[in-house]
Amino acid sequence: MVSPSLLSILAAVAAVARAANYDVNVGADGLNFTPASVSDAVQGDTITFRFSGMHSASESTLTDPCTKKSGGFDSGQLTGGTYQVTLNSTDPVWVYCNVGGHCRAGMVFAVNPGSNLAAFQAAAQGQTVSSTGSTGGSSTGSASSAHTSSTGSSGGGSGGGYGSPGAASRSSSSSSAFWVLAGTLLGVAAL
C-alpha cells in the first residue's frame, strides 16, 4: 500500500514537471517587455526576465503602474542577466521598469491581465482608458499571493540568443525525472 505522504510527494513532483517557463525580453527592442503580456500562466509557472541594457522588472498594481507594490518583487536595475519569478496563483501580476522615465514611456508587462492590459499600459503613460469585463483577479494584496520566489543572476549579454520571448517551455528532463522518482518510490514502497 502506498502511504499518503508518498502520494503527496508524487503530486508535488508532478506539478513541477508540468510547470512552464515564459521568457520575457526586457529592453531588447528598446523600451519594451517582449512579449507585453502572458495570458495563460498557472500556479507553479515561472517568468524569466532577460535583460538588455539598464532596466528592471518591478511589481506594481493595476491602478498605480509606475510605483513599486508594497512587498512586491523587484529585480533591481540590471544591464544583463536574468531574474525569475515563480507564480503562486493565476491572479494578475503587474510589472514595470523603474529606470528613469521608462514606465511613463509605456515599459510595462502583465501576467494574466484579463481585459485590463490596455488600461494598465495607458495608465502607465498617464492616460485614461476604461476596460470592460473581468479584472482577472485582484490587483492588491501581498506579494506572496502573486509569486513564491524570485531569483536573479547578473551577467553581460545583449539579450540575444534567448529564444522566442513568451514561449512556454516544459522540460522533458523534469518529466523524465518525475517518472524515475515515481518508479523508485513506488518500488521502495512495494518492498
Say yes or no to pLDDT of 185 above 80.
no
What's the predicted TM-score (pTM) here?
0.68
Cα–Cα distances in angstroms (integers) from residue 167 to residues 66, 128, 152, 163, 189, in the given order = 26, 30, 20, 8, 38
Across the chain, which distance is largest between two alpha carbons, in Å? 66
Residue 7 pLDDT > 60: no
pLDDT at residue 50 tops 70: yes
pLDDT digits (tens, 9 = 90+) for 138-182: 333 333 434 435 566 654 433 333 344 554 443 333 433 343 334
Is the separation of the CB atoms in 92 and 107 below 8 Å?
no
Give the pLDDT score at 151.
62
- pLDDT computed for residue 48 by the predictor: 98
86 contacts 150 by C-beta, under 8 angstroms: yes
Q: Give residue 18's pLDDT band: very low, low, confident or very high (50, 70, 90).
A: confident
pLDDT band at 9 (very low <50, low <70, confident <90, very high): low
Q: Identify the CA nearest to 42 among candidates 16, 9, 72, 71.
A: 16
CATH code for residues 20-169: 2.60.40.420
Q: Which is higher by pLDDT, 102 or 184?
A: 102
Residue reference for cell 499571493: 145
